Structure 1
Amino acid sequence: MSTEIRVSAVAFLRHDGEHRTEVLTVRKRGTELFQFPGGKPEQGESPVDAAVREVHEETGVLLTVASLRPLGRYHAPAANEDGHTVVADVFTTVWTGGTPPPASEIAENRWAPLGTPEVTPDDAAHPLAPLMFRVFPAIAAGIPDLR
C-alpha cells in the first residue's frame, strides 16, 4: 500500500528562441531526478500559496498567486521516497527571464524541452521524476503561444 505525499509544483514555461517550449526543472541535493520546483504545503496553507512559497525558497523567484494558472492535480510514484505516491497540485507560469539560480536544497536547475524526443524517462543526461511524464502532455496540450 502506498502512502500519499501532497505537494504543490510550478511549471515555468519559456520559449527557447527556436520554436520550442522549455520547462524549468530542479534537482534537489543528494538526488538524481529532476522535477518541478515546489514542495509540501505547511499546515493550513493552500496549494497555490504553497507553490508561491516553495518556488521562492528553491529559486529565489517571488511569484504572485495571480501569475499562476492551475493545470490540475496529478498522481505519480514519488521520485525520492520508495513506495509513496505524490499527489501534486500543478500550476504553470510563463517565464521570460533567465535561469533562476538554485537556492535552499536545490543543487541544479535545468530547462527541459517539452514534447521532444530529447526528453525521455531513460534520458541519462536529464533524468526526470515520474510526475513529469504525467504532467508534460497536459502542458503540451494547453501551451500558450510564447512567441
Structure 2
Amino acid sequence: MTKTIYIAAALLIGTDGRTLLVRKRGTLAFMQPGGKIEATERPIDALARELLEELNLHIDPLQASYLGQFSAPAANEPGFEVKCELFQVSIAEAVEPAAEIEEVIWVDQSSHADLVLAPLTRDFILPIYLRASPKP
C-alpha cells in the first residue's frame, strides 16, 4: 500500500518568465519549492511558511493562484506518493537557498532538458508551465 505525503508547492514565475526549481541537500532531483502541509494548516499557509523557510521568500497568499491538485511518486521517499496542492506565484524578489535546499535554478523552455526532475515536476508541473509560457 502506497503512503501519501501531502504537500503545497509553488510554480514560481520570475519577472523574466522563467520558473524556479530547487534541489534538496543530498538528492539529485530538482522540483518545485514547497513542502509538507501540517495538520492544522491551509495549503496556502503551508506554502508561505515553506517558501520563507527554504528560500527566505515572503509571499502574499492572496497573490497566489490555485492551479489544482496533482499526485505522483515521491522523488526522494521510495514507496511514497506526493499529493500536491499547486499554486502559481509571480515574484520579483531574489531567492537564496536555506534550510534543506542546496541549489536553486531558474529554467525556461529550453534550459531544463539535462536536469534530473522529480516525477511531479516532470510529468505535471513543468508541462503546465511550458503550455503557458511564450514560445521563443
| TM-score, normalized by the shorter chain, greater than 0.5 | yes
Q: Which runs of 5+ in 2 are unaligned?
A: none
Distance 1:119 1:109 in 2: 12
Is the aligned partner of 1:107 residue 2:102?
Answer: yes
Distance 2:61 2:46 in 1: 10
Task: Tell which deviates more after alignment, 7-16 or 87-96.
Answer: 7-16
Instruction: Give 1:50 deviation, angstroms.
Output: 0.3
- Residues 23-69 of structure 1 show CA distances to partners (whole Å, capped at 9, x for unaligned) of 10111111111111110011210111100000000000111111211
Distance 2:14 2:8 in 1: 20
Instruction: Give 1:138 deviation, angstroms.
Output: 2.0
Task: Pick one of 46, 52, 55 that aligns with 1:59.
Answer: 55
Tell me which residue corresponds to 2:64: 68
Tell me which residue corresponds to 1:11: 11
Task: Pick one of 136, 140, 146 that aligns with 2:126.
Answer: 136
| TM-score w.r.t. length of structure 2 | 0.89
Instruction: Give 1:106 deviation, angstroms.
Output: 0.8
Residue correspondences, number: 133
**3-state SS of the aligned residue for 1:141?**
helix
Q: Which runs of 5+ in 1 are unaligned?
A: none
Tell me which residue corresponds to 1:40: 36
| TM-score w.r.t. length of structure 1 | 0.83
Identity %: 36
Task: Report runs of 4+ in structure 1 exceeding 3 Å deviation.
Answer: 140-143
Is the aligned partner of 1:88 residue 2:80?
Answer: no
